[in-house]
Amino acid sequence: MKTAKTYALFITLLVVGFVVTALLVNELAGFSRTFMGYVILGVAVAGGTFLTVRLFFIRYVAGEIDPLSKKIHSYTTSQKRLRSKIDKGDVVTDLNQEVTPWDDNQSEEIKKLRQLEKYRKDFLGNVSHELKTPIFNIQGYILTLLDGGMEDVNINKLYLKRAEKSTNRLINIVDDLDSIARLESGEFKLRKEPFNLVKVVEEVIEYLEMQAKEKNIKIVFDGKTNKAIKVVADKKRIMEVIGNLVNNSIKYGKEGGKTTIGFMDNGENILIDITDNGIGIEENNLPRIFERFYRVDKSRSRESGGTGLGLSIVKHIIQAHNQTITVRSKAGQGTTFIFSLDKA
Q: Determine the topology of domain 104-185 in CATH.
A: Helix Hairpins (1.10.287)
Task: Looking at mean pLDDT, say which of 42-46, 127-131, 265-269, 294-298 comes out highest.
Answer: 265-269
- Which ranges of the chain would DSSP assign to H, the alpha helix? 4-28, 35-73, 79-88, 91-146, 153-185, 197-214, 235-251, 298-303, 310-320
Per-residue pLDDT band at 312 (split at 50, 70, 90): confident
pLDDT score, position 325: 93
The distance in angstroms from the start CA to the end CA of the chain is 63
For residue 264, give the H/E element and its range: strand 258-266
Q: Which CATH architecture has domain 192-343?
A: 2-Layer Sandwich (3.30)
- Cβ–Cβ under 8 Å, residues 256 and 290: no
Helix axes 153-185, 91-146, angle to 10 degrees: 160
Whether 104-185 and 192-343 share one fold: the answer is: no
Calculate the alpha carbon distances from 18 to 23, 119, 176, 230, 337 in Å: 9, 67, 83, 92, 83
- Cβ–Cβ under 8 Å, residues 47 and 26: no
For the segment 108-117, the average pLDDT, to the nearest whole number, is: 75
- Cβ–Cβ under 8 Å, residues 272 and 336: no
Per-residue pLDDT band at 299 (split at 50, 70, 90): very low
Per-residue pLDDT band at 265 (split at 50, 70, 90): confident
pLDDT score, position 75: 44
Q: Quick: pLDDT tens for 129-166.
A: 778 888 888 888 888 888 887 888 778 888 888 889 88
Domain range annotation of the chain: 4-89, 104-185, 192-343
Among 46-60, 77-91, 157-171, 222-236, name the one with the lowest average pLDDT. 77-91
